[in-house]
Structure 1
Amino acid sequence: MVKKIAITMGDPAGISPEIIIKALHKVDAGVATVVVGCARTLQRVIDLKLVDPIIINVIQKVDEADFTKGILNIIDVPLDDPDGLVPGVVQKQAGDLAYRCVKRATELALAGDVQAIATAPLNKEALHLAGHMYPGHTELLAKLTNSKDYAMVLYTEKLKVIHVSTHIALRKFLDTLSCERVATVIEMADKFLKHVGIAKPRIAVAGVNPHAGENGLFGDEEVKIINPTVEKMAAKGIDVVGACAPDTVYLQCHEGRYDMVVAMYHDQGHIPLKLLGFYDGVNITAGLPFIRTSADHGTAFDIAWTGKAKSESMEESIRLAIQLA
């Protein structure tokens, strides 16, 4: 069976239209992709000559697509006012479109019409302006699929990170950190790595505090929560160690000692990965009923519709979606 991938437009006022077109020019010929987004917006970007030209093929259903190289198949989800869209500006209609594209792509995936989704960046402020009060793609997709246990994965060839928490204030994170959540994420890490072809995954769990707490000297989350949970999961047969000092464990993973790091909170995992793999990093949601990948960066309103956006992360997200599907 040909693996079909839905690509959501994300926020059309940002760099998403540009990086989608650039990425589709660079992925292998015959890759079966269908964009879910505003056809008029993509045409506006093409008309500005910001990207190499591509033929837009508007379709109603996935099985109407033409997967010939140089053709962009799109299920049209139009903006309320396509010609009124202002590049580089947070807008309600753009946030609403980003939501509707994810919702439509999710419907396609749940119906089996596509085997994976690759999402282009959306803007959280625009999403909220439109009344869709989600912190980001991860939580939105979990809600649309009724997924209870899920986690954000950041993926590069040499560094892979899975998060215990993501879009939550640090003060609240410390109050909600639990043995149950850490155990769930360790198990998801093990299953994910095996799914991508690592037969015997080696997992490191980062501590919360400096030096992983120094046996309670700088905080007791490691002693009370992380260490006992790591021991419990290791007893179940998972190759996992921790709590590891957060300031060294990511470099150790990058150099090959581990296959994945369990990060405790958003920036603890994002900063090292974006430093080492900003342009080719891919965001994956583990725990959904289908594969979801994403470009691992934002909407970059400051360079929207200028031709300056780099598409490497979007390209990798499409390739990885096909591989994992």
Structure 2
Amino acid sequence: MILITGASGNYGKSTIDFLLEKGVPSTQIKALVRDESKASHLKSKGLELRFGDYDNYEQLVEAFAGIDKLLLISGSDPFNRAKQHENVINAAKEAGVQHVIYTSFERSNETESSPIWFIASSHIATEKLLISSGLKYTIFRNNLYLDILPWFFGDNVLETGIFLPAGDTKAALTLRDDMAEATANVLLSEGHEDKVYAFSNTENVNIQEIAKDLSEVVGKNIPYISPSVEVFTETLTKAQVPNEFIQMFASFTSAIKEGEFEVSTTDLETLLGRKPTTAKEYLSSVYNA
């Protein structure tokens, strides 16, 4: 029996869809949700809903009863996530879950000097706890999503160009659906116990190359400017972009510039059984229309 946490989110929904496409009966998949009103699409697929909040330990123990494999999709609250994940792992042990699969993330800097330490710290803590838990585990080191590029670029990118402090460092940006399909493949097969897999693209690209690809896709020159973080912050502040978004964009693009997401090896192609979607293929699917 498989349980997917965060089942109403993008990663969870996509993983469930791939499991169903690959022939897993809906009766063998349980979906953990917090809000039933956001899970009607899951019920329509024949899945049993189980209700649980990462902050509610007793609720999690009850929800995990009878589960063999549990996909722990990382929580969306970076400041409380370490404790929430600890609740999930401990509840899984108490409920008799055999194998926990966790969506962590790719990084090269595991110190507080990382520009994304606020994200990294909880993932690192969760990995350590899971490895020492006595449970069978599989950890996915997920690279930065290709899907985040339009968010970084803004709605007017085709008119204004790309303005990000990412420098010319490359990153193995990866489509979320490719990760979800590989996740489904791992859930469906054996031999993945106590493994750490790199979920990264087979190509590393920088934003300059992405700007060139986007230019070819839309048939016009899309310039790329890489300002300092200070100029970037000042410019977006004057444009009345909310500060929390500015800080998020600055942190992740600075991480790109520092090489946090550039990799030399990946397990994704092997686990997918095909080449991952390239940056240009993704840009074409989003901007070609």
Give the shorter-chain TM-score range: 0.3 to 0.5
TM-score (norm 2): 0.35
Question: Greater RCO between the two (CA within 8 Å, min separation 6)?
Answer: 1
Structure with more of its chain in strand, by fraction: 1
* TM-score normalised according to structure 1 size: 0.32
